[in-house]
Amino acid sequence: MLPDLSSEEVLRYSRHLSLPGVGLQGQRKLKNASVLIVGVGGLGSPAALYLAAAGVGRIGLIDYDWVSYSNLQRQILFDQSQVGKLKVEQARARLLGLNGDIEVIAHPEVFSSKNALELSRQYDILLDGSDNFATRYLANDVCVLQGKPYVYGAVYRFDGQVGVFDARQGACYRCLFPEPPAPGTTPSCAEGGVLGVLPGLIGTLQALETVKLITGAGTPAVNRLLMVDGLTFRFDLIDLRKNPACKICGAQPEIRELMDTASFCGEPLPKIDASINDSWEISPAQLAEEIKNGRPIRLIDVRTPEEVEIAVLAGSQLVPHDQIAHHLDDWGRDEDLVLYCRGGVRSLWALRILREAGFEKARHLAGGILAWAREIDPTMKEY
């Protein structure tokens, strides 16, 4: 039995009520629906705002992070006065201020294999606003196991993707990407960068697909993936098919329970493999001491030229991480090399290449230039 609309709600949603494909029944479906938004960041912000405005009756928000200044470039749910405060609590207040007729539930915790099933059972649809592979695979697997749609979105620099995965009707995320990349082989959410407007576009499209799923209007993007190139204004639509050999939704599934595939953005970087040990790293304090004592260290900055303009360690040589393999002849195999990036992801990736090429004394700066700024040089700008 769908809930009725109050007189105020009829007025609020009047533009929906006169809309073919939505109408009164569609609006009542929205009021009766529940959506869990995983990650209240660049994607989750516009998605949450539009779903609240559209009248989705119960919205869950899960995020363990606090608002920071670096969020404000794209996370439009927040303002400067909220820096340092829990995202889900601030987001809940904002959504209820927009629409007091809905219910908003804050879950200030990490979305992990320990809580994902129980949390997801409380909602009809899962909308993924995360920024890392671990959460995407976990969100997909939850939806496959519980038989519900997974509204996917992702952004990187100037590019974005959006689509709906529903294993009951076709492909799941693992059908398209069977295995996550190895830890440490891809830049973190902060290291890669993203144009602030792009998550607004992708997150809004995720909200659109969610509304379509709830109301039955139009054709949801099930088995389709939209690829967005923000620089060239190119939109490509790819048709997807279920992979019969998929490990979770195929004919003979291997995955029958949840597992965490990698660390979350903002958590400590895992070791790439067992060969990596503490001798591969140098702390900011250790590096400062060795430089002070005159040890001949060659500093290799594996960031982008744009990042160098913000902050740099004196005397560094710039070699972006994806070009490191082309510069192996620039240095001696017995040199003391210290690689660094923003937070330690790209430098560790590049270090593995050097170690495998015989640079046995090469190390990387643990925590990157951010750790240096916080522990050694407080005048250095953080980003």
Catalytic residues: 189, 341
> Which residues are 340's β-sheet partners?
301
How many of the other CB atoms lie within 10 Å of CB of 32? 15
Tokens of 285: 């304090």
> Residue 152 is inside which H or E element, if any?
strand 150-156
3-state SS class at 186: coil
Residues written for the chain: 383
For residue 222, give Cα distances in angstroms to 206, 212, 253, 269: 12, 11, 21, 34
Sorted by sequence, the CB contacts under 8 Å of residue 39 that are 6+ apart come out as 62, 63, 111, 128, 129, 130, 131, 135
C-alpha torsion sign, points 90, 94, 95, 97? positive
User: In sequence order, what DSSP letters do the residues of 32-90 get, joined into one string?
Assistant: H-EEEEE--STTHHHHHHHHHHHT-SEEEEE---B--GGGTTT-TT--GGGTTSBHHHH
